[in-house]
Amino acid sequence: MSRKHPIISVTGSSGAGTTTVKHTFDQIFRREGITPVTIEGDAFHRFNRAEMKAELAARLAAGDETFSHFSLEANVLGELEAIFREYGETGSGRTRHYVHDDKEAARWGTPPGEFTPWAPFEEGSDLLFYEGLHGAVKTDTLDIAGEADLKIGVVPVINLEWIQKIHRDRALRGYTTEAVTDTILRRMHAYAHVICPQFTETDINFQRVPVVDTSNPFIARWIPTADESLVVIRFRSPRGIDFAYLTQMIHGSWMSRANSIVIPGNKLDLAMQLILTPLILRLVDQARRA
């Protein structure tokens, strides 16, 4: 952790809503005149698309049915930890991009399924912003969580996460429900052992909870909307959080525990703006003073 070069880490699995959260952060950065350097979790996958397909086949042939992008060994997390540490110490580092589709290929000049070359960060940033799967990992050999100054978890209840993944993969990737279900099952071991423990390390968690029936996510015909959801916001340390102000400003919200507030799903962006803006400004102000 560094007063001079702060790091914000947003952690959540695919389909959890981290992209929406990133949009909110972008709004705050733009409005407050903050210059971030952004890195994506995909940049730290160990394998490109063809290599990952071959690695999956080899693992399955060897009887390992748990390997996925969620797995620690499927990513170069030592590199991510080192970059967090380097940025905290010097304000410099490097990153690359994983190219998902033809649109990104045209932007980056790299074929889909490949990585762009590693490139140094642009100079003059106020903070480092990470969004991905592993931004709060802490194991016997890794402490990525310990390098970040503000850690945000974005996690829907698991049935909702499955519904979102099924719908996204069928619509955007042409997968069958059965194929997506197989992927979900394969990821469960790493989800329990790699993804979930990170939400104990985060400073604030935003958990979306549908208030409609999602008891069988594999036949759900549509994704529950924001109006059909609540969001539970949990603060690891509630000291200094003005809950009375938040419940007054966010219509329909209430406290469910001494460190938690529940809000209507369609108030998520407002809640993030109210909660995160002063925290980000404090980090940046401390950095500029340092």
Nearest alpha carbon to residue 280 among 207, 204, 200, 208: 204
Nearest alpha carbon to residue 232 among 213, 214, 208, 215: 208
Residue 222 half-sphere exposure toward CB, CA atoms < 13 A: 5
pLDDT tens figures, 228-287? 999 999 999 998 899 999 999 999 999 999 999 999 999 999 999 999 999 999 999 999
Give the model's confidence band at 20: pLDDT under 50 very low, under 70 low, under 90 confident, else very high: confident
pTM more than 0.85: yes
Strand ranges, E, within the chain: 7-11, 36-40, 94-95, 119-120, 127-132, 150-154, 204-210, 229-235, 254-257, 260-264
Phi-psi region of 113 (alpha: psi -120 to 50; beta: other; left: phi over 0): left
Instruction: Indicate the length of the chain as a whole number.
Output: 290
Q: What are φ and ψ of residue 192, in 5° steps? A: -75, -35
Counts for the chain of helices (H) and strands (E), in that order: 9, 10
